[in-house]
């Protein structure tokens, strides 16, 4: 499958023109970008009257006409401006940080990990990874298959508010959606997959339909197929946390909302959340085992990530069960999918795109869904991360769950500071973490009320390590099935 990004930080994007229009009495100021240039050009204006007729003035007149005749076109143009400016800002800030920290003088690491898959890079690894330079077609193809959830606009209002965009407040919800989307792809496709969008083979048709069904779960409306839409997530936050729609959500609340939506929809994928780092295996197997996404919300420092956790963050992304990490830099949520040296590869939700229009009979083309993919890997240093994170692990089988426990405990045995542990029993009644209808909820109590509204309200905790050498789970499963030597 070949997917393309509709916004690239290149001169082609710059030629789309970064413009803003402001009115003051009778003067108009227009900012646009020359084609092929990254330097905005400002057209001068007179203080007592309009500027001299020029190309910029004609552009301004066209924009005024668009505002009255075609508001969606103006909104799209505005989004392109904001997206382009953000591209420049991210590039500039990352380059300056790299220079000040001395990383620009170092040779980039030749090993890259992406959701449990290892790549050995060639000798020529360009620092300008924002352009995709230095990465092989295999790496870029794998990265482009990640589902990318970003800000959207022009969607139906999120009741009871009048919000038709989540730009400025929905970045952590979008990062959570992106993590969940990768888990759903692991669930349906496994780790290595591809398909031809226009292929006529049965397998291509099947995968295309499954891919479309996954993406539709994140469409921006109240449709029954939009299980994890921004509308449902924001509305649930209002219902359970008392947050007004338009307020920023933290990682803890986002993880809890995903779990609650999955429970309400009786989703094929169970979602298990923990905020103290302990995964209670008996709760996951309270009934027959279902494919489960484990979300571990944790605070790994105060204002920055404590360096003792750097190795675990990297090791986590090498695990075959990894669905990525929802975190970010301070006040700016990101989704982390892999790492190269001491830098994490990420997807940035802070790009606003129009909501995808519903198609008759759900027939979507590749171009319809192209904005849900990105072929531009970016990197951020570990020391620039915000300490609040949600780690995601997809366990499709019981064996995969046992293997995850084995790998985490092996890391701890090697002296690594881990952020999670496993317990054979059920969670205490005060802990709300089990999938399905949790015993601790009393048949429908509020999960979200017990969670801190933001990461800063919780204490750092790595959780106690289990010293057991066996996995012995209690519950309805047979002893023969659940006792496994590690």
Of 149, 171, 285, 374, catalytic:
171
What is the C-alpha to C-alpha distance for residues 63 and 70, in angstroms, rounded to an integer? 10
Does the active-site annotation cover 423? Answer: no
Does the active-site annotation cover 38? Answer: no
What is the C-alpha to C-alpha distance for residues 175 and 172, in angstroms, rounded to an integer? 5
A 10 A CB-CB count for 137 gives 8
Least Cα distance to 392 among 318, 330, 455, 316 occurs for 316
For residue 445, report the phi and psi dihedrals to the nearest 5 degrees.
-70, 175
Does the active-site annotation cover 348? Answer: yes
Of 187, 188, 267, 350, catalytic:
350
Q: What is the 3-state secondary structure (H, E, C) of the chain?
A: CCCCCCCCCCHHHHCCCCCCEEEECCEEEEEEECCCCCCEEEECCCCCCCCCCCHHHHHHHHHHHHHHHCHHHHHHHHHHHHHHHHHHHHHHHHHHHHHHCCHHHCCCCCEEEECCEEEECCCCCCCCHHHCCCCCHHHHHHHHCCCCCCCEECCCCCCCCCCCECCCCCHHHHHHHHHHHHHHHHHHHCCCCCCCCCCCCHHHHHHHHHHHHHHHCCCCCCCCCCCCCHHHHHHHHHHHHCCCCCCCCCHHHHHHHHHHHHHHCCCCCEEEEECCCEEEHHHHCCCCCCCEEEEEEEECECCCECHHHHHHHHHHCCCCCEEEEEEEECCEEEEEEEEECCEEEEECCCCCEECCCCCHHHCCCCCCCHHHCCCCCEEEEHHHCCCEEEEEEEECCHHHHHHHHHHHHHHHHCCCCCCCEEECCCCCCCCCCCCCCCHHHCCCCCCHHHCCCCHHHCCCCCCCCCCCCEECCCCCCCHHHHCEEC
Of 220, 348, 386, 423, catalytic:
348
Active site residues: 171, 348, 350
């Amino acid at each position: 499958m070949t997917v393309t990004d509709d916004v690239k930080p290149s001169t082609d994007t710059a030629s789309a023109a970064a413009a803003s229009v402001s009115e003051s009495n009778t003067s108009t100021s227009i900012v646009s970008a020359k084609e092929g240039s990254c330097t905005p050009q400002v057209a001068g204006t007179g203080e007592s009257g309009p500027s001299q007729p020029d190309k910029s003035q004609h552009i301004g007149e066209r924009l005024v006409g668009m505002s009255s005749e075609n508001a969606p076109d103006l909104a799209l143009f505005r989004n392109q401006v904001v997206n382009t400016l953000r591209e420049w800002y991210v590039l500039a800030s990352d380059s300056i940080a790299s220079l000040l920290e001395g990383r620009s003088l170092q040779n980039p690491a030749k090993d890259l990990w992406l959701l449990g898959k290892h790549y050995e890079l060639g000798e020529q690894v360009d620092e300008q990874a924002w352009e995709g330079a230095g990465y092989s077609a295999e790496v870029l193809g794998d990265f482009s298959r990640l589902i990318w959830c970003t800000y959207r606009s022009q969607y139906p209002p999120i009741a009871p508010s009048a919000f038709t965009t989540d730009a400025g407040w929905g970045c952590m919800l979008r990062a959570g959606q992106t993590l969940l989307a990768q888990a759903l792809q692991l669930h349906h496709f496994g780790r290595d997959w591809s398909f031809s969008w226009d292929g006529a083979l049965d397998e291509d048709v099947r995968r295309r339909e499954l891919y479309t069904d996954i993406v539709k779960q994140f469409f921006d409306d109240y449709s029954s197929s939009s299980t994890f839409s921004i509308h449902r997530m924001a509305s649930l936050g209002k219902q359970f946390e008392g947050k007004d729609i338009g307020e920023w959500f933290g990682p803890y609340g986002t993880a809890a909302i995903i779990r609650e939506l999955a429970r309400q929809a009786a989703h094929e994928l169970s979602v298990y959340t923990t905020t103290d780092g302990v995964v209670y295996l008996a709760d996951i197997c309270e009934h027959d085992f279902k494919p489960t996404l484990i979300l571990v919300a944790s605070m790994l420092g105060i204002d920055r990530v404590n360096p003792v956790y750097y190795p675990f963050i990297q090791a986590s992304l090498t695990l075959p069960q990894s669905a990525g990490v929802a975190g970010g830099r301070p006040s700016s949520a990101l989704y982390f999918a892999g790492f190269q040296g001491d830098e994490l590869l990420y997807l940035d939700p802070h790009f606003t795109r129009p909501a995808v229009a519903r198609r008759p009979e759900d027939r979507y083309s590749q171009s319809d869904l192209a904005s849900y993919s990105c072929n531009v890997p970016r990197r951020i240093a570990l020391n620039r991360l915000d300490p609040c994170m949600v780690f995601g692990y997809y366990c499709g089988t019981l064996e995969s769950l046992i293997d995850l426990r084995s790998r985490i405990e092996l890391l701890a045995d090697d002296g690594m500071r881990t952020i999670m542990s496993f317990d054979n029993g059920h969670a205490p009644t005060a802990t709300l973490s089990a999938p399905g209808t949790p015993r601790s909820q009393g048949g429908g109590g509020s999960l979200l009320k017990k969670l801190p509204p933001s990461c800063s309200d919780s204490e750092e905790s790595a959780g106690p390590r289990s010293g057991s050498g066996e996995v012995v789970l209690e519950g309805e499963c047979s002893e023969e099935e659940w006792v496994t030597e590690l």
